[in-house]
């Protein structure tokens, strides 16, 4: 028998979250008399750990998919994804550009070096290319400097006029949409200042931006808009202070395991490596078949929420490679074989676990190990 651990991935939850985001966007834009933005569902990093195949199904109603691994992008096409497919980091070499062309992907162009590659190959492409030109408005990661953006954009527009480029848009990325709107407004101001006179669709919002209703009125209305939500589509919150359930989202990923051993413990007993937890009074402990080699965060401290048979309890002691211990003192019915949810449906949210473990839900959902059997829920 395999170890009693599994990760469930719910396609209906992904469908629900996408529909939820669409509804939220419609509510934001209709009072402004604008059409609702189109949605690139972000599926980078193997769809945040949920699997590319599952994402292509779960986000079938999205207007496009966005990711950054070329192999994963090719996989989407092979799985029958015919709508736009955007490479968030663009191409890394001339060879990549040939694949972008062959599979008719949309590429981000964010630096001079990419323009040089384009220059050398643009007249050899089989299809007109779709390009999103990226401007750095304060994230200071990818993107042309604001003062260099117009020249780069004009170069791309020349290629568009020559028929080498089909769609040409403008994008940027927020650094603090999850925690500081004032920085986001500064970034938007920069974006508008340097791009609003240049025609082309725009794409600026990640999950946090997409779920911040007040942003829409700061965006130019004359251009088609595409948003780029990621984490919220998987049912986790982009905001530390707002729970995913408050946003109407459902967890797409549930990490579950079983109790494989139960023991009674006297007072003043150390538990696990380093005896980081010492019992104050007699207690009952369960050993769960999940450890850091499965993707559970080793830094989760005693007290991290864990649910047993639908009831909340807590992690006790240090997380081992393949096991962790849970407090069963208040759960006398729990036995070997009882179901444990580490996060997701019927358990704590991945955001709660992440917060107490000093990380973010993004990292946890991405990090579930390949050795954990994956069960895809179609209903």
Ligand X SMILES: *Cc1c(COP(=O)(O)O)cnc(C)c1O
| Contact residue for ligand X among 62, 231, 306, 308 (CB under 6 A) | 231
> Does residue 40 contact residue 86 with C-beta atoms inside 8 Å?
yes
Considering 44, 83, 157, 339, which one is annotated as catalytic?
Answer: 44
Taking CB under 6 A as the rule, does residue 42 contact ligand X? yes
Instruction: Pick the stretch among 17-25, 224-232, 284-292, 365-373 that binds ligand X (CB under 6 A).
Output: 224-232
| 309 CB-side CA count, 13 A | 13
Residue among 374, 299, 285 at smallest CA distance from 338 = 285
| Contact residue for ligand X among 51, 169, 229, 251 (CB under 6 A) | 229
What 3-state class would DSSP assign to 338? coil
Dihedral angle, C-alpha 230, 200, 110, 63, nearest 10 °: 30
Taking CB under 6 A as the rule, does residue 318 contact ligand X? no
| Contact residue for ligand X among 10, 130, 195, 207 (CB under 6 A) | 207
What stretch of H or E contains 375?
strand 374-377
Sequence-ordered list of residues with C-beta below 8 angstroms from that of 77, at least 6 positions apart, any chain: 85, 103
Instruction: Pick the stretch among 91-99, 193-201, 222-230, 274-282 that binds ligand X (CB under 6 A).
Output: 222-230
Question: Based on CB atoms, which residue is closest to ligand X, 91 or 292?
Answer: 91
Active site residue 170: no
Token reading at 284: 């009952």
Active site residue 44: yes
- Give CA–CA dist 55/359, Å, rounded: 24
Taking CB under 6 A as the rule, does residue 73 contact ligand X? no
Question: Based on CB atoms, which residue is closest to ligand X, 88 or 340?
Answer: 88
CB of 230 to ligand X, least distance (A): 2
| Mask for 75-104, x = binds ligand X (CB under 6 A) | -------------x----------------
| Contact residue for ligand X among 8, 38, 110, 173 (CB under 6 A) | 173
- Report the length, in residues, of the chain: 379
The CA-to-CA distance between both ends of the chain, in Å, stands at 26
Q: What is the DSSP letter of 298?
A: T
CB of 66 to ligand X, least distance (A): 7
- Give CA–CA dist 261/306, Å, rounded: 16
Q: Which residues, in sequence order, are bridge partners of residue 288?
A: 259, 324
- Give the count of residues interacting with ligand X (CB under 6 A): 11
In order, the DSSP letters of 78-122 are: HTT--S-EEETT--SSHHHHHHHHHTT-EEEE-SHHHHHHHHHHG
Instruction: Pick the stretch among 226-234, 271-279, 285-293, 316-324 that binds ligand X (CB under 6 A).
Output: 226-234
Beta carbons within 10 angstroms of residue 127's beta carbon = 12
CB of 150 to ligand X, least distance (A): 21
Question: Based on CB atoms, which residue is closest to ligand X, 1 or 241?
Answer: 241
* Beta strands across the sheet bearing 165-171: 202-203, 165-171, 129-134, 106-109, 85-87, 64-67, 38-42, 226-227
| Contact residue for ligand X among 22, 38, 170, 228 (CB under 6 A) | 228
Considering 185, 273, 362, 379, which one is annotated as catalytic?
Answer: 273
Q: Which residue is nearest to ligand X (CB)?
A: 230
Taking CB under 6 A as the rule, does residue 206 contact ligand X? yes
Taking CB under 6 A as the rule, does residue 230 contact ligand X? yes
Token reading at 76: 């989407």
Interface residues toward ligand X, by CB under 6 A? 42, 44, 88, 173, 206-207, 228-231, 238
Q: Which residues are catalytic?
A: 44, 273
């Amino acid at each position: 028998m395999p170890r009693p651990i599994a990760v469930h991935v719910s396609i209906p939850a992904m469908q629900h979250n996408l529909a939820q985001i669409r509804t939220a966007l419609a509510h934001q834009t209709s009072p402004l008399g604008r059409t609702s933005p189109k949605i690139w569902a972000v599926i980078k990093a193997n769809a945040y750990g949920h699997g590319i195949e599952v994402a292509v199904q779960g986000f079938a109603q999205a207007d496009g998919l966005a990711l950054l691994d070329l192999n994963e992008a090719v996989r989407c096409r092979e799985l029958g994804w015919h709508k736009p497919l955007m490479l968030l980091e663009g191409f890394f070499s001339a060879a990549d550009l040939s694949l972008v062309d062959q599979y008719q992907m949309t590429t981000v162009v964010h630096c001079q070096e990419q323009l040089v590659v384009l220059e050398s190959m643009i007249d050899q492409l089989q299809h007109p290319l779709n390009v999103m030109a990226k401007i750095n408005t304060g994230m200071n990661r990818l993107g042309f400097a604001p003062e260099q953006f117009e020249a780069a954009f004009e170069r791309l527009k020349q290629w568009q006029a020559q028929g080498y480029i089909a769609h040409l848009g403008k994008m940027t990325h927020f650094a603090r949409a999850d925690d500081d709107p004032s920085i986001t407004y500064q970034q938007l101001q920069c974006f508008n200042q340097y791009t609003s006179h240049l025609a082309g669709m725009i794409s600026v919002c990640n999950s946090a931006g997409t779920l911040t209703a007040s942003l829409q009125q700061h965006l130019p209305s004359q251009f088609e808009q595409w948003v780029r939500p990621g984490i919220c589509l998987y049912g986790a919150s982009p905001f530390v202070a707002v729970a995913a359930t408050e946003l109407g989202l459902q967890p797409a990923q549930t990490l579950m395991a079983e109790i494989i051993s139960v023991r009674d413990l006297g007072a003043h007993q150390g538990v696990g490596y380093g005896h980081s937890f010492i019992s104050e009074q007699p207690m009952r402990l369960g050993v769960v078949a999940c450890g850091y080699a499965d993707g559970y965060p080793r830094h989760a401290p005693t007290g991290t929420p864990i649910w047993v048979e639908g009831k909340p309890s807590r992690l006790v002691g240090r997380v081992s490679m393949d096991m962790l211990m849970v407090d069963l003192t208040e759960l006398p019915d729990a036995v070997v074989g009882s179901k444990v949810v580490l996060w997701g449906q019927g358990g704590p949210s991945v955001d709660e676990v992440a917060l107490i473990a000093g990380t973010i839900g993004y990292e946890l959902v991405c990090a579930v190990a390949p050795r954990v059997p994956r069960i895809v829920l179609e209903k």
